[in-house]
């Protein structure tokens, strides 16, 4: 979808103002910006997500990491591989439960995370450049409400949920 080029042709208002479409296009631009920025530093969105979660939670299993990042556990394998390859993370079997791998952020990983944070800050800034600070906060709040609202469905979830 994404727009590509447009030599001044009229995009119908019904399309221009359709929220689902706006979300799609904005998301495409957003992903492109952050993917390119991180790519220049040999990194990936998922690397950042995993490392942030690891810094907050300390060493955890891959399953827990999947919950905390939203990265599917089948995709997480490759992410951990790449991070471990670069020695940003260590994967070790959990002695208490030998089904698990405990993932630990290395000091190098922590430094790396600082760098990725800078890169992402810049990218967000570019993404939101047409908006004021107040508008950015507003947008973030509104999107957060939408995402939170639609965050149900797949799992069983305890009886207490909801």
Shortest Å, Cβ 111 to a second copy: 16
Shortest Å, Cβ 97 to a second copy: 17
Shortest Å, Cβ 57 to DNA: 13
Per-residue x/- mask for a second copy, residues 54 to 93, rule CB under 8 A?
--xx------x-xxxxxxx---------------------
Six token digits for residue 71: 């990265």
Could you give the angle at the alpha carbon of 58 between the alpha carbons of 54 and 62, nearest 5°?
55
Shortest Å, Cβ 105 to a second copy: 13
Q: What is the 3-state secondary structure (H, E, C) of 87-123?
A: CCEEEEECCCCCCCEEEEECHHHHHHHHHHHHHHHHH
Span of 10-18, 58-66, 111-119, 130-138 interacting with DNA by CB under 7 A: 58-66
Run of H or E including 61 = strand 60-61
Q: Are 119 and 47 in contact (CB under 8 A)?
A: no
- Residues contributing to the site for DNA (CB under 7 A): 1-4, 24, 28, 31-32, 35, 44-45, 61-64, 66, 72-77, 80, 91, 97-101, 154
């Amino acid at each position: 979808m994404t727009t590509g080029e447009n030599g001044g042709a009229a995009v119908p208002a019904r399309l221009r103002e359709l929220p689902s479409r706006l979300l799609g296009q904005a998301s495409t631009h957003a992903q492109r910006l952050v993917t390119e920025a991180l790519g220049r530093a040999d990194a990936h969105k998922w690397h950042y997500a995993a490392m942030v979660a690891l810094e907050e939670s300390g060493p955890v299993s891959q399953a827990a990491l999947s919950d905390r990042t939203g990265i599917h556990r089948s995709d997480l394998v490759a992410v951990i591989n790449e991070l471990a390859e670069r020695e940003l993370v260590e994967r070790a079997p959990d002695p208490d439960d030998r089904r698990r791998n405990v993932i630990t952020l290395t000091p190098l990983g922590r430094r790396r995370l600082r760098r990725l944070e800078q890169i992402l800050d810049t990218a967000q800034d570019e993404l939101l450049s047409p908006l004021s600070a107040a508008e950015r906060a507003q947008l973030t709040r509104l999107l957060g409400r939408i995402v939170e609202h639609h965050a149900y469905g797949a799992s069983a979830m305890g009886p207490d949920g909801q």
